[in-house]
Structure 1
């Protein structure tokens, strides 16, 4: 498996190279959060490339070391690549003061992390084989953890899937990029099978999932639940296959966003009008954060250098 991963990395030029190196390097050291570092201060949080730790835009990096990070409500999720082969990922759930409350170890390389708005549902995706969606033959594993019950869905692939209105079974089904609705029951994700990708709507209570539209990857549901930002495959060029789009769930109409560079990330809504995402920087394995308006207007704006996994923590409502 390690040979397959390294081969895929060479072909791609290392879009996720820093994660792979984190999982294979010796002397892997986990840094805990500083005692004073919490999610109580509103603003932008992200993974700082220089330190590998969670940082706040208004101050130095003081959070735990992570390869992927997300937070909402009362909880944060940190994915860390563990040393050695085969590749393994440690998914750590924290409270707002970065006290670890649960740890799950899964196979694969850290890839996507998401926490529902309430903080009660968490999801992560790892690459089991390969290290990019641009390489054929990749395999993913996506899990969902419900903190209300403690129940862990080890693989979303176990949920019955309906494709184009018919119950579907296939050995090549892969899920990734979960985004939760506000009801802490429905979720959206990408499912890949038969060489095609689909937007899927899942229902945890009904234990079902159905496809809504083809060629939708890494969906990100807007705060009001009406729109989905996603990356759409627009080219066969493995170096630049995607472009950011927005989908209106009411009529399934889509429009491109002003970012014309290829984005291999699950965009994050900083508010109801602005999306943030990572793009490779000049240094190999390092990314910068950018923003773009969700209505298709404007132009990309640099948000933070040497950063990834953006999270916008809102100010608390007035008493």
Structure 2
């Protein structure tokens, strides 16, 4: 056998092996998707229907229950969260809505790369504008009036527990369509002094009613801070240390947040910070909460926890915001709650 022929045979064999591996990966992914699209016995009742953000006394969320409506935006009555959920055609990785405006972060894994985008939605969940995202969707919020939208993506790493991760947080004025691509362009005041560093990251925006004030997490030098920001002044000021994923209460007096337990663990407990007294109250939930909580009202916060025995699925839980009571299962197979 000539040297040239031998090389050709080796090359053909390598191509066949790679083709087989690729086919196996595709078939495995298709099998997983097929299993996810099969309704499970005993699972929640899901029916296809329409949803408008003008509806009251409902909780919208991303449906995580197995079946054809998995990852679809769905809703249930806030007074009966166990009722049959109404699922729409809109599918999202993250979702939030307020003031008749919605934001849907989507992530699609292609053959060569992952495609990520943000959809700005009107009250009927129709897309007003689409924005390309620089990374994997992580957090999303809308201001109470619906004027401002914010989203956070991972531009490297896959989670906040990763040793090496970077985030990018953007804020959009939905009236003027003026986009602030990254909060890292804002001036930082830490401990009363201007602060500059190359490792600054922001995530987890939450808005006040004035459509100027916001709160977020600032990460730098291995520490996280709660910051209060001003869009008009393009500044953020640190308020407290070891605060992540803040969520401002409807009466704007408190912030729910996740607090890292011990400096080198990936465990977070849910707390509420009183903005007037700086008092921190631990909530009754004792599981690690890696989520940006949502206030259902001034007394209750909701958050997602991984479902027991179900990989890649979460359930929504709620707990009193004053540290009393006990966690309560709110909606099975769900994430990204948004009270309408």
TM-score computed with the length of structure 1 as normaliser: 0.85
Q: Using the TM superposition, give the Cα deviation of residue 154 of structure 1 relative to its aligned residue in structure 2, in angstroms.
A: 0.3
Q: Using the TM superposition, give the Cα deviation of residue 89 of structure 1 relative to its aligned residue in structure 2, in angstroms.
A: 1.9
SS at match of 2:91: coil
Given candidates 272, 276, 301, the residue that maps to 1:246 is 272
Task: Tell me if 1:127 matches 2:151.
Answer: no
User: Who wins on radius of gyration, i.e. which is larger?
Assistant: 2
Deviations 1:84-106 (A, max 9, x none): 35544210011110111011001
Q: Using the TM superposition, give the Cα deviation of residue 151 of structure 1 relative to its aligned residue in structure 2, in angstroms.
A: 0.6
Q: Using the TM superposition, give the Cα deviation of residue 60 of structure 1 relative to its aligned residue in structure 2, in angstroms.
A: 2.7
Task: Tell me if 1:110 matches 2:110.
Answer: no
277 and 63 in structure 1: CA distance in 2 versus 1, 3 angstrom threshold: farther
Partner of 2:307: 281
Q: Using the TM superposition, give the Cα deviation of residue 135 of structure 1 relative to its aligned residue in structure 2, in angstroms.
A: 1.8
Q: Distance in 2 between matches of 1:103 and 1:195?
A: 34
Equivalent residues, number: 281
Q: Distance in 2 between matches of 1:298 and 1:116?
A: 29
SS at match of 2:184: helix
168 and 86 in structure 1: CA distance in 2 versus 1, 3 angstrom threshold: farther
Contact 2:54 2:100 in 1 (8 A): no
Q: Distance in 1 between matches of 2:91 and 2:258?
A: 27
Q: Distance in 1 between matches of 2:297 and 2:325?
A: 16
Given candidates 171, 188, 213, the residue that maps to 2:198 is 171
Partner of 1:181: 208
Contact 2:51 2:86 in 1 (8 A): no
Partner of 1:57: 76
Q: Distance in 1 between matches of 2:54 and 2:178?
A: 27
Q: Distance in 2 between matches of 1:115 and 1:217?
A: 18
Task: Tell me if 1:157 matches 2:184.
Answer: yes
Alignment of structure 1 residues 127-276 onto 2, 5 Å = 127-236=154-263, 238=265, 240-276=266-302
Given candidates 40, 44, 60, the residue that maps to 2:59 is 44
Q: Distance in 2 between matches of 1:124 and 1:266?
A: 12
SS at match of 1:57: strand
Q: Using the TM superposition, give the Cα deviation of residue 82 of structure 1 relative to its aligned residue in structure 2, in angstroms.
A: 3.0
SS at match of 2:133: strand
RMSD after superposition: 1.6
Q: Distance in 2 between matches of 1:149 and 1:223?
A: 25
Partner of 1:13: none
Q: Using the TM superposition, give the Cα deviation of residue 37 of structure 1 relative to its aligned residue in structure 2, in angstroms.
A: 2.5
Given candidates 86, 99, 112, the residue that maps to 1:73 is 99
SS at match of 1:265: coil
Q: Using the TM superposition, give the Cα deviation of residue 41 of structure 1 relative to its aligned residue in structure 2, in angstroms.
A: 2.5
Q: Distance in 2 between matches of 1:155 and 1:40?
A: 30
Contact 1:244 1:256 in 2 (8 A): yes
SS at match of 2:202: strand
User: Relative to structure 2, which stretch is displaced further, 50-59 or 117-126?
Assistant: 50-59
Stretches of structure 2 that go unaligned for 5 or more consecutive residues are 1-28, 34-47, 78-84
Contact 2:142 2:207 in 1 (8 A): yes
Q: Distance in 1 between matches of 2:314 and 2:155?
A: 23
